[in-house]
Structure 1
Amino acid sequence: MSAELIDGKAVAAEIDARAGEVGAELAKEIGRAPCLAVVLIGDDPASEVYVRNKVKRTEAAGLKSIEIRKPAETTEAEAIEIVRGLNADDSVDGILVQMPLPDQIDANRVIGEIDPDKDVDGLTDVSAGRIVLGKPGLRPCTPAGCVLLAERALGDLSGKNVVVIGRSILVGKPAALLFLEKNATVTIAHSRTKDLPALCRTADILVPAVGRPEMVKGDWVKPGACVLDVGINRIDAPERGEGKTRLVGDAAFDEIVGHAGWITPVPGGIGPMTIAMLLRNTVIAAATRSGKNLPADF
């Protein structure tokens, strides 16, 4: 048996297109396109790429994009003032502050200023609380993308055993809660977990999200399981030439692909889904803020 590749890039393109369609219909009702504002402070190269991709895909979907760029010397007070200004701007539906921020800025304080109804990254305390309480709200993009891909592969997730490796507030914890919403049975594994390989072998759905290259080995995965690899790590690739690198996930793809049921590649798996869910959240935020209904299948 060879695992079926879950093409996150193709699914993300579908979601982008659907967000554009629903956003266009919503624009007819509210008189403007749903709007996403992205704040980039500093000159981190990876952040530059991420923001460029977000802006490109937002505009390609027919949504409005606002890009605010500030130098690395920007103070925390100035960053907070930017967020407060976007909160007050009624034409802005979603706010995303690109991480990491320069050292002099406390990211938690800046994120904490975002209006929860515009928190399209799902990172504020209120957004987290809404997940825990099962209340409507904007869900974190990467975890939401994981759940959607799992449903595409497996259908109904009720009763599935899910093991999430990693307990970060960005992916691990919210992913566990979102799978729980789907009536899966969820275990969060972490650095203190005893006999992690044995625990992983119980999983119908395995979600490595720790940032350790190829940590999950082939014999950790139950035959037929679905592996959703959140990790993205750059490692040396001398076989490609001196100084060359390549991207790998937290799962040892070549070891696992031969007996898993489904697996997301790296790159091209979970990564593209993050921006797709961001666009979806922007449309949801625009509808919620304007008191409009969205299609039941959105």
Structure 2
Amino acid sequence: MSTETLILDGNTVAGAIKQSLETRIARLAEHGITPCLATILVGDDPSSATYVRMKGNACKRLGMQSVRIELPASTTTDQLLEEIHKLNADPLVHGILLQHPVPHHIDERAAFDAIAIEKDVDGVTTLGFAQNAFGFANYPSCTPAAILAILQHYNLPMEGKHAVVIGRSPILGKPVSLMLLNANATVTTCHSKTANLEEIVRQADIVVAAVGKPKFVQGSWIKAGAVVIDAGYNKGNIGDVDYEACLPNASAITPVPAGVGPVTIATLLKHTVDAAERQINL
């Protein structure tokens, strides 16, 4: 292991974000408001259930409220939309998170876009994506926002750097590409159809792996001094980056677990507090 490689500890970054929220939550309490995140889980996918439980526990630890809506896998799109509309209309709910993925028979995009923009704390709506592209989203997608928070926390420059993003999903690859572009990086977005992927990655000053394949990014792909951000999470606590192989060349790297994941949850909590403050123009 290289002693010079900076390990980007997500728990440290998440802790700083949560600490900054404590006084804001106390201030909201003085106005009789408890920030509230509503989570919707459709079906019985064990991984999704774990993620929802983690988010609820994180809320409770900070003195926030968590409302869990659990729906059977047989739920129709219309039934899901009805639940979302109820939460939109509830003034005590400040943020809404629909756990991805939903069962295949549900129109997930219609469900995401039914979430009111002022409660879209996970940055999943089409309007939220567009606002993020223009650089003024109140709540960009949480994992992309977490990635930028890590880079900023460790004072890793983005301006003028060549960032290569591997993945183009609408809630990770595409929005993080846009956010890096807005931070004045030069961005190449790669995907499963990209030719000569390894050669492109070797040119990167910043590599963001968001492809959903365990240990996909190889050590030989990383040029000396590159910053490696692993946004993947696969079965067995394995990221999208071959961590041990990439470590010697990287100047900084996120581990999995304890990298991007904790910061994503902290960002979700921050967005919910932001939404509660905006509700009363605080």
Question: So what's the TM-score if we normalise by structure 1?
Answer: 0.90
Task: Indicate the residue corresponding to 1:8 in structure 2.
Answer: 10
Task: Indicate the residue corresponding to 1:260 in structure 2.
Answer: 250
Task: Indicate the residue corresponding to 1:140 in structure 2.
Answer: 141
**Mapping for residues 152-171 of structure 1, pairs under 5 Å:** 152-171=153-172
How many angstroms apart in 1 are the aligned matches of 2:187 and 2:104? 35
How many angstroms apart in 2 are the aligned matches of 1:11 and 1:71? 36
Task: Indicate the residue corresponding to 1:218 in structure 2.
Answer: 219
| Offset at residue 264 of structure 1 (A) | 0.6
Task: Indicate the residue corresponding to 1:290 in structure 2.
Answer: 280
Which sections of structure 1, spanning at least 5 residues, go unmatched?
235-245, 293-298
8 A Cα contact 1:153 1:262, kept in partner: no
Task: Indicate the residue corresponding to 1:23 in structure 2.
Answer: 25
| Offset at residue 231 of structure 1 (A) | 1.1
| Offset at residue 220 of structure 1 (A) | 0.7
| Offset at residue 287 of structure 1 (A) | 1.6
SS of 1:79's equivalent?
Answer: helix
* Code of the aligned partner of 2:258: G
How many angstroms apart in 2 are the aligned matches of 1:44 and 1:204? 37
How many angstroms apart in 1 are the aligned matches of 2:100 and 2:195? 32
How many angstroms apart in 2 are the aligned matches of 1:82 and 1:118? 14
SS of 1:228's equivalent?
Answer: strand
8 A Cα contact 2:146 2:267, kept in partner: yes
- Deviation digits for residues 63-101 of structure 1 (CA, Å, limit 9, x no counterpart): 111111122222221111110000001111100011221
| Offset at residue 192 of structure 1 (A) | 2.7
How many angstroms apart in 2 are the aligned matches of 1:123 and 1:205? 25
Task: Indicate the residue corresponding to 1:296 in structure 2.
Answer: none
Q: Which moved more, 1:18-27 or 1:127-136?
A: 18-27
| Offset at residue 178 of structure 1 (A) | 0.9
| Offset at residue 160 of structure 1 (A) | 1.7
8 A Cα contact 2:128 2:137, kept in partner: no
- Deviation digits for residues 228-252 of structure 1 (CA, Å, limit 9, x no counterpart): 0011122xxxxxxxxxxx3221111
Task: Indicate the residue corresponding to 1:250 in structure 2.
Answer: 240
How many angstroms apart in 2 are the aligned matches of 1:136 and 1:71? 32
SS of 2:41's equivalent?
Answer: strand
8 A Cα contact 2:42 2:72, kept in partner: yes
How many angstroms apart in 2 are the aligned matches of 1:135 and 1:232? 28
* Code of the aligned partner of 2:73: A
How many angstroms apart in 1 are the aligned matches of 2:177 and 2:104? 30
- Deviation digits for residues 3-52 of structure 1 (CA, Å, limit 9, x no counterpart): 221111221122123223222213323x2111111111221101111111
Question: So what's the TM-score if we normalise by structure 2?
Answer: 0.95
* Code of the aligned partner of 1:104: H
8 A Cα contact 2:84 2:115, kept in partner: yes
Task: Indicate the residue corresponding to 2:191 in structure 1.
Answer: 190
- Deviation digits for residues 247-285 of structure 1 (CA, Å, limit 9, x no counterpart): 221111111111211111111111111111100110111
How many angstroms apart in 2 are the aligned matches of 1:140 and 1:53? 18
How many angstroms apart in 2 are the aligned matches of 1:53 and 1:189? 31
Quote the RMSD (CA, aligned, Å): 1.4
How many angstroms apart in 1 are the aligned matches of 2:120 and 2:113? 10
Of 279, 282, 290 in structure 1, the residue corresponding to residue 269 of structure 2 is 279
Which sections of structure 2, spanning at least 5 residues, go unmatched?
none
| Offset at residue 104 of structure 1 (A) | 2.8
How many angstroms apart in 2 are the aligned matches of 1:190 and 1:104? 26
* Code of the aligned partner of 1:19: L
* Code of the aligned partner of 1:8: G
Task: Indicate the residue corresponding to 1:38 in structure 2.
Answer: 39
How many angstroms apart in 1 are the aligned matches of 2:176 and 2:256? 19
Identical amino acids, percent of aligned pairs: 42
8 A Cα contact 1:17 1:61, kept in partner: no
* Code of the aligned partner of 1:56: N
SS of 2:193's equivalent?
Answer: coil
Task: Indicate the residue corresponding to 1:240 in structure 2.
Answer: none
SS of 1:139's equivalent?
Answer: coil
SS of 1:112's equivalent?
Answer: helix
* Code of the aligned partner of 2:45: D
